[in-house]
A and B are shown apart, each in its own frame.
Chain A
Amino acid sequence: MNLAELERRLLAAARLHQPSDHVPYGFEQRVRAHCSARPTLDRWAWWAGVLWRASAPCLAIVLFLSAWAWVAGAPNGANDSLDNDLEGAVYAVVDSTTESW
């Protein structure tokens, strides 16, 4: 069977058929009634909308702070200082216990 010809003939038959544009009685009034009805607030949709709108400014702030930290650079000896601070924090309990004895 010639599939290309079959496809062409089927599409030609579909083109000949125009769907009806009949409108049910009073349809426009039904639509108007829906539009006039007071919309009910969907709290979850509203909250999702707020979060979505907030995401862009938050991302911008994160990028700005990252860039600022990058440009400002870490002070000299910052790694050492960080090591010392960490060590001090971890052993703080032990030191204070020793001193209390």
Chain B
Amino acid sequence: MEPDDAELIAATRRGDTASFEALVRKYQPRLFATARRYAKRDSEVEDIVQEALIKAFHKLDSYRGEAPFEHWLMRLTVRTCYDFLRGHQRNREVTFTELSAAEQDWLDRFGRDPGDAAANAEAARQLVERILDELTPAARLVITLLEIEERSVKEIAALTGWSVALVKVRAFRARAEMRKCLKKIARDKYV
């Protein structure tokens, strides 16, 4: 029978790093999937997950066991992703002319008939990825958690460490930021 999380955590606290390796093996796929929402390059994704896991190892004494270990680990990972976004913040706006042929084609089709744009979801996904890249770190985090992962405001507050009110304010600003970005692309398209 495999030891459960509590046993592995207790063993890690006693200095058994092999137990921590077992915890890492169990949860790392989920952490990689989360990190890939915020970073593109493999090296960046690996750095984020590694940093989150090392933080978890050093802060393991602060884990009180009130919530599942997975939640605690996800919180550390989301905060590490946010730090990564803040460290790699870019201050430029995407324009229609910078879009790939597939993205421009998808927008053209959407402009003619929004119903027709359902095809080629990959182009739409690339387009939304490009727009997310232009948002501020807080806006990107909120849009990803709230709109793409469809988490509740309360869950986001727990993951980010922000208050519920702050999450609501940041969600409002993030939507406005995203709409501004879309407006810019649409305006460029018709100029």
**Residue contact B32 to A28, C-beta cutoff 8 Å:** no
Of chain A, the residue at the smallest CB distance from B126 is: A13
Main secondary structure of the interface of B (DSSP, over half): helix
Given contacts A28-B21, A31-B24, A36-B17, contact A21 B32 (CB under 8 A): yes
Other-chain contact of A34, B54, B111, B125, B189 (Cβ < 8 Å)? B54
Within the assembled complex, what's the spacing in Å between the Cα atoms of A5 and B124? Answer: 13
A6 to B109, CA, bound (A): 11
Those of B115-129 within 8 Å (CB) of chain A: 117-118, 121, 124-125, 127-129
Q: Number of A residues whose C-beta is below 8 Å from B?
A: 31
Are A6 and B18 in contact (CB-based, < 8 A)?
A: no
Question: In chain A, what residue has the closest Cβ to B22?
Answer: A28
* Residues in chain A near residue B125, CB distance under 8 A: 13-14, 16-17
User: Restricting to A1-46, which residues have a CB under 8 Å from any CB of B?
Assistant: 1-7, 9-11, 13-24, 27-32, 34-36
A32 to B150, CA, bound (A): 33
